[in-house]
Amino acid sequence: MEPINTTGWRSALAGSQMLFVAFGALVLMPLITGMDPNVALFTAGFGTLMFQFTTKRQVPVFLASSFAFIAPILYSNQTWGLAATLGGLLAAGLMYILLSMLIYLRGPGFIRRLLPPVVVGPVIMVIGLGLASVAVNMAMGKAGDGSAQLIDYPLAILISMASLTTTIIVAVFAKGIFRLVPILAGVVVGYGLSWILGVVDFNAVGAASWLAVPAFVTPEFKLAAILFMIPVAIAPAIEHIGDVLAIGSVTGKDYIREPGLQRTLLGDGLATSAAALLGGPPNTTYSEVTGAVMLTRNFNPNVMIWAAIFAMILAFIDKFGAALLSMPVPVMGGILCLLFGSIAVVGMNTLIKNQVDLSQPRNLCIVSVTLVFGIGGLMIGNQTFSLQGISLCGVVAIVLNLLLPRADEALEPVQ
């Protein structure tokens, strides 16, 4: 199937769909950390625009609230306050920029040595499968972490499966313009069914005003908060590399070479620093959107520019944000079951396409440990700084690849 080439209003329509895909996680992170969701919406759009123009509009990704920073932000807020935390986040964004300069000086060659297919494949699989429990919990009417039952299970399953089925049918059988919006179709059907079943609560929508300026916050600079936050940037920087490799596998392009990892990291760093200057959470590339890009085969980066513009405009429309927040979790839960799974398939295809021999003990060890650590949710660290998920898997896969001898270096088998 050839990718769809979209221009004009078709790009705008597809962009609105991408914003729907990202919206749930985008606003959830600031709600958890005590930040303003409308500020997060604005800074996600602004950061995406900065990223797109830094990377010469070549990479179809959308940037929004990074979950890797949740625990450090909560700790920093309690210790030094929100303004000082924002100062630390600004410094973390500058760390991305310094890393991009290092890659520019050294060239991408050492990145390729660190990230061969045997490392990239399982890391991409973890990006999708590590989030599988979130999608399943939401599909069953629970919070993403499974901590609370938000909607009765029978209703939740009915809604989520309707959303998922609609998305699959439109993605596989639709023709023309309708091929562009399988996720939006799933959202419409799921939301409509939720309304019919009486699951949607519109009280917050009625209470919200039409227009409101987001509550922007100016950062303060405290050395302790800055020194605390800078090392935290290492983990999401590794996650960034994994996401860039994932979207490259989806589109069939080598973004490490062109526009270059130095540009994508620079764009991410500028977006994170800009968000901190305005009071928003740090940005990162979104796996949900990568899955949507794969499903729709819409590789046009202009779609993300439209999504960014919509996000910035809608940040000032309070009722819209309230309406999307009222969307029951099973609606997106059903759709995410497909999107997260499709990312895992990209990682699997990376191993197959590059003919990674899993009968070799070193390759088997790298892939196996990476998958189990990621899917099992292993965490190494403490409450203030930890590695888990894609960040931990990236580190483990890279270290194992460097330490374990290759087939031509290994000892002869014992007779």
CB 76 within 8 A of CB 229: yes
Beta carbons within 8 Å of 106's beta carbon, 6+ residues apart: none
How do residues 263-311 score in pLDDT, each as one tens digit? 999 999 999 999 999 999 998 887 678 777 877 777 888 889 998 999 9
Quickly state the pLDDT bin for 6 (edges 50, 70, 90): very low
Which residue type sits at 186?
G
pLDDT in tens, 245-265: 888 888 888 888 889 889 999
Q: Dihedrals φ, ψ of 335, to 5°? A: -70, -40
d(CA 331, CA 279): 30
Give the per-residue pLDDT at 31. Answer: 64
Non-local CB neighbours of 341 within 8 Å, separated by 6+ positions: 128, 129, 132
Task: Write out the chain in H/E/C secondary structure.
Answer: CCCCCCCCHHHHHHHHHHHHHHHHHHHHHHHHHCCCHHHHHHHHHHHHHHHHHHCCCCCCCCEEECHHHHHHHHHHHHHHCHHHHHHHHHHHHHHHHHHHHHHHHHCCHHHHHHCCHHHHHHHHHHHHHCCHHHHHHHHCCECCCCCCECCCHHHHHHHHHHHHHHHHHHHHHCCHHHHHCHHHHHHHHHHHHHHHCCCCCCHHHHHCCCECCCCCCCCCCCHHHHHHHHHHHHHHHHHHHHHHHHHHHHHCCCCHHHHHHHHHHHHHHHHHHHHHHHCCCCEEECHHHHHHHHHHCCCCCHHHHHHHHHHHHHCCEHHHHHHHHCCCHHHHHHHHHHHHHHHHHHHHHHHHHCCCCCCCHHHHHHHHHHHHHHHHCCEEECCCCEEEHHHHHHHHHHHHHHHCCCCCCCCCCCC
State the CB neighbour count (10 A cutoff) for residue 175. 6
Token pair of 229 as six digits: 């936050």
Closest CA to 53 of 253, 309, 237: 309
Q: Which two tokens mark 192? A: 């409509």
pLDDT grade for 5, boundaries at 50, 70 and 90: very low
Q: pLDDT, tens digit, for every residue of 298-345? A: 788 888 999 899 999 988 988 876 777 778 889 888 988 887 788 788
Q: What is the pLDDT of residue 180?
A: 61
Total-model pTM: 0.69
Evaluate the CA torsion angle 54, 254, 340, 126 in order and state its sign: negative
Buried b (16+ CB within 10 A) or exposed e, 80-105: bebbbbbbbbbbbbbbbbebbeebee
* Of the candidate ranges 44-53, 79-88, 141-150, 364-373, the one whose mean pLDDT is the lowest: 141-150
Give the C-alpha separation, 265 to 237, whole Å. 8
How far is CA 349 from each of CA 79, 150, 252, 346, 384, rounded to the nearest angstrom? 45, 36, 11, 5, 36
Q: Is the pLDDT at 131 greater than 80, yes or no?
A: no
Q: How many residues does the chain have?
A: 415
Contacts of 171 (CB under 8 A, 6+ apart): 179, 182, 295, 296
Rounded mean pLDDT, 132-141: 89
pLDDT average, residue stretch 47-66: 91
Question: What is the model's pLDDT at position 240?
Answer: 82
Are the C-beta atoms of residues 85 and 76 closer than 8 Å to each other?
yes
Residue 231's pLDDT is: 65
Tell me if the bond preceding 361 is cis, omega within 30° of 0.
no
Q: Say yes or no to pLDDT of 179 above 70.
A: no
Task: Supply 405's token pair.
Answer: 């001898």
| Amino acid sitting at position 84 | A
Enter the tokens of residue 8.
């004009």
pLDDT above 70 covers a percentage of the chain that reads 87
CB atoms under 10 Å from CB of 70, counted, come to: 16
71-80, 103-112, 293-302, 355-364 — which is least confidently predicted?
103-112
